[in-house]
């Protein structure tokens, strides 16, 4: 809503954006519908195919959703010419959405990013602020652990940043962003200056990255298939304020099944990473004989992603740990980029 509203006030008529699994695309489509803007969404191809109802949700709210890479942009055509069978990536979809905005001759189209950037993280922080109010109403002051799944960083930062302030001020809180082993930028990537998209149209950002040319394996957690991470989250990792973990999709789906059978809700594949992280923390607390307050962000439902559950239950999914040689290959695109400072500053 903030992104759609501010663009509307500025006189913009149309927004372009990318989406991984479709959650952000759906959100922006609805926001544009409410304020009267056109919306064009480039949806990562593998998710476009795996989650057709996400596309229909966006169409219900008036958005035009196309599979990325597409033949509508120079960036998309170039990728398709080189890799016609590519599953796509958020880096590719971002390039297409930016190109569509900057080449619009009317000057009334803008690009809207759903994660990574400071203003998006700021908007999302309402999640953590509401969580604090909920804790207070339950008679709790602060949690011992905060967990969230992390793709580009906005959902995780939304729950984590208000509690990060408490940690900076001395509170003992473990803050854990969880990423897939198929796309482990925080746990195995470089901390370097990199582009947010494959066509290098964004500014360089200091972040943990697998390289802007990285195309992740086609896991069902499409919203976590991004090569980089929000610079603010990455700096928190460097400072030791956040401790990232990577968890394989099999453990995550097992956690999702446990959640569904006990809570009655079927979570999104992305959210299953947070739930898997919570289960790890709960088991550890039990082993240590400690009582802990654990807060996590339940960030998406899985009713549009049931094909992933079907693949898991039928034995079609396998563990996937990104090979080191793939990381070396993908990070080759960082050659010549300045390295981000690796030392801790010790100050905020």
Mark whether 302 and 215 lie in a shared domain.
yes
Residues 287, 180: Cα–Cα separation, whole Å: 25
Average pLDDT over residues 153-163: 96
Whether residue 344 is predicted with pLDDT greater than 80 in this model: the reply is no
What pLDDT, on a 0 to 100 scale, did the predictor assign at position 337? 66
Mark whether 156 and 22 lie in a shared domain.
no
What pLDDT, on a 0 to 100 scale, did the predictor assign at position 258? 98
Distance from the Cα of residue 142 to its chain's centroid: 25
Assign residue 133 the CATH number of its domain: 3.40.50.1100
Mark whether 39 and 174 lie in a shared domain.
no
Of 96, 111, 126, the residue at which a domain comes to its end is 111
Of 128, 111, 102, 114, nearest to 1 by C-alpha is 114
Average pLDDT over residues 254-258: 98
**Beta-bridge partner residues of 228:** 209
Average pLDDT score, the chain: 92
Mark whether 54 and 141 lie in a shared domain.
no
Average pLDDT over residues 57-85: 94
Residues 145, 295: Cα–Cα separation, whole Å: 6
Average pLDDT over residues 91-106: 92
Backbone angles phi, psi at 267, to 5 degrees: -85, 160
Predicted confidence (pLDDT) per residue in 30-64, tens digit: 999 999 999 999 999 998 998 889 999 999 999 99
Whether residue 335 is predicted with pLDDT greater than 80 in this model: the reply is no
Number of domains in the chain: 2
Dihedral angle over CA of 309, 313, 316, 319, nearest 10:
80
Of 71, 87, 111, the residue at which a domain comes to its end is 111
Average pLDDT over residues 72-98: 92
Q: Are the CB atoms for 151 and 120 separated by under 8 Å?
A: no
Domain carrying residue 290? 118-334
What pLDDT, on a 0 to 100 scale, did the predictor assign at position 287? 97
Whether residue 348 is predicted with pLDDT greater than 50 in this model: the reply is no
Residues 147, 126: Cα–Cα separation, whole Å: 16
Mark whether 244 and 140 lie in a shared domain.
yes
Angle at 70 between CA 69 and CA 75, to 5 degrees: 65
**Beta-bridge partner residues of 205:** 194
Q: In the structure, what pLDDT confidence band is assigned to residue 341 with cuts at 50, 70 and 90?
A: low
| 5 half-sphere exposure, CB direction, 13 A CA radius | 3
Of 111, 128, 159, the residue at which a domain comes to its end is 111
Single pTM value for the model = 0.90
Q: What's the Cα-to-Cα distance from 341 to each of 104, 207, 210, 238, 293, rounded to whole Å?
A: 37, 10, 17, 9, 34
Mark whether 251 and 305 lie in a shared domain.
yes
């Amino acid at each position: 809503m903030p992104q759609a509203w501010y663009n509307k006030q500025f006189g913009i008529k149309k927004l372009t954006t990318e989406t991984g699994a479709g959650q952000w695309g759906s959100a922006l489509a609805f926001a544009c519908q409410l304020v009267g803007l056109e919306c064009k969404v480039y949806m990562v191809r593998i998710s476009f195919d795996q989650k057709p109802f996400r596309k229909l949700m966006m169409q219900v709210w008036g958005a035009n959703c196309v599979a990325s890479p597409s033949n509508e942009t120079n960036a998309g055509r170039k990728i398709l010419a080189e890799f016609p069978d590519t599953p796509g990536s958020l880096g590719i979809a971002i390039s297409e959405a930016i190109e569509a905005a900057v080449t619009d001759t009317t000057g009334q189209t803008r690009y809207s990013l759903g994660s990574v950037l400071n203003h998006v993280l700021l908007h999302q922080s309402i999640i953590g602020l509401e969580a604090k109010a909920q804790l207070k109403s339950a008679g709790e002051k602060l949690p011992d652990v905060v967990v969230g799944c992390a793709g580009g960083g906005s959902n995780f930062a939304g729950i984590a940043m208000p509690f990060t302030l408490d940690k900076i001020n001395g509170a003992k809180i473990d803050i854990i962003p969880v990423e897939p082993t198929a796309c482990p930028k925080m746990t195995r990537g470089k901390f370097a200056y990199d582009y947010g998209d494959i066509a290098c149209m964004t500014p360089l950002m200091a972040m943990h990255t697998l390289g802007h040319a990285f195309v992740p394996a086609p896991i069902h957690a499409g919203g976590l298939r991004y090569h980089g991470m929000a610079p603010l989250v990455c700096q928190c990792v460097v400072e030791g304020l956040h401790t990232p973990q990577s968890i394989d999709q099999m453990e995550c789906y097992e956690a999702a099944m446990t959640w569904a059978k006990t809570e009655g809700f079927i979570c999104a594949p992305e959210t299953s990473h947070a739930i898997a992280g919570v289960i790890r923390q709960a088991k550890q607390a039990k082993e240590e004989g400690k009582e802990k307050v654990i807060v996590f962000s339940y960030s998406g439902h899985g009713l549009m992603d049931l094909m992933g559950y079907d693949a898991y239950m039928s034995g079609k999914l396998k563990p996937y740990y990104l090979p080191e040689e793939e990381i070396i290959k993908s990070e080759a695109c960082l050659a010549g980029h300045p390295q981000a400072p690796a030392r801790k500053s010790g100050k905020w």
